[in-house]
């Protein structure tokens, strides 16, 4: 909100395309995983010692542990949300319909028996009805945006200033696709999300 530089208040801040709205907030989370950024503020409250590097390494490994399941979980939520809003006509009990939508994302049948449909508040509450996919879509975009900071330096001032000028300050002045291109100089690449959340494929095991 503080960085918006648009003439119409209703087009500032988070008043942007819904599959773009989560990009700035999710992008900021990346710096909490970078030692350079943590060293600026993460110190022991008594001794002043910096955040332990070995602890950060373990946290990064834990972040990726079974994260493929986390990605599938988000995909299943988004698929179910869209299916209920676009195709469900009451032709079958809604719980049965939900199970059919979730089954392709589950490792076995037991996983679809206990699903969150009765407590899935995003389905019809707030602005995420039929738009839950925007979480993962925005995550794909912000992971790609952050790849530039990883390349140029996570605290690189020029990249930060350009991000402010080309994205944060623009609100809904221009289509998100153009704002992304203005900052990155190209179209989005989903490989950035895969690299960050899942990492490179493991090396093949050596045969004794």
Q: Is the CB of residue 183 less than 8 Å from the CB of residue 163?
A: yes
Q: What is the model's pTM?
A: 0.86
CA distance 133 to 107: 21
CA distance 127 to 162: 30
- Nearest CA among 81, 160, 6 for reference residue 15: 6
Q: Tell me, what's the pLDDT at 200?
A: 66
- Nearest CA among 109, 148, 126 for reference residue 30: 148
Mean pLDDT, consecutive 10-residue stretches, the chain (208 aa), reads 82 88 94 96 95 94 88 92 94 91 87 78 84 92 97 96 96 94 96 86 51
In the numeric block, which tokens belong to residue 106? 């589950």
Q: Tell me, what's the pLDDT at 202?
A: 52
> Quick one: DSSP state of residue 119?
G
Q: Is the CB of residue 123 less than 8 Å from the CB of residue 129?
A: yes
CA distance 197 to 87: 31
Q: Tell me, what's the pLDDT at 208?
A: 45
> 43 forms bridges with which residues in the sheet?
50
Q: Measuring CA to CA, how many Å separate 183 from each of 146, 150, 174, 203?
A: 11, 14, 13, 34
Q: Tell me, what's the pLDDT at 201?
A: 53
SS3 label, residue 188? coil
């Amino acid at each position: 909100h503080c960085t918006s530089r648009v003439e119409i208040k209703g087009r500032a801040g988070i008043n942007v395309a819904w599959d773009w709205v989560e990009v700035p907030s999710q992008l900021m989370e990346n710096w909490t995983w970078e030692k350079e950024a943590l060293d600026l503020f993460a110190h022991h409250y008594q001794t002043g010692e910096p955040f332990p590097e070995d602890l950060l390494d373990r946290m990064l490994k834990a972040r990726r542990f079974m994260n493929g399941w986390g990605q599938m979980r988000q995909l299943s939520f988004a698929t179910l949300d869209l299916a209920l809003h676009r195709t469900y006509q009451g032709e079958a009990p809604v719980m049965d319909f939900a199970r059919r939508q979730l089954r392709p994302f589950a490792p076995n049948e037991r996983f679809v028996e206990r699903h969150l449909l009765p407590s899935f508040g995003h389905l019809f509450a707030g602005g995420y009805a039929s738009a839950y996919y925007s979480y993962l879509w925005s995550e794909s975009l912000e992971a790609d945006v952050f790849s530039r900071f990883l390349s140029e330096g996570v605290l690189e001032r020029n990249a930060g200033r350009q991000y402010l000028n080309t994205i944060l300050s623009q609100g809904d002045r221009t289509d998100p696709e153009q704002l992304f291109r203005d900052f990155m100089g190209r179209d989005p690449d989903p490989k950035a999300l895969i690299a960050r959340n899942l990492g490179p494929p493991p090396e093949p095991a050596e045969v004794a």
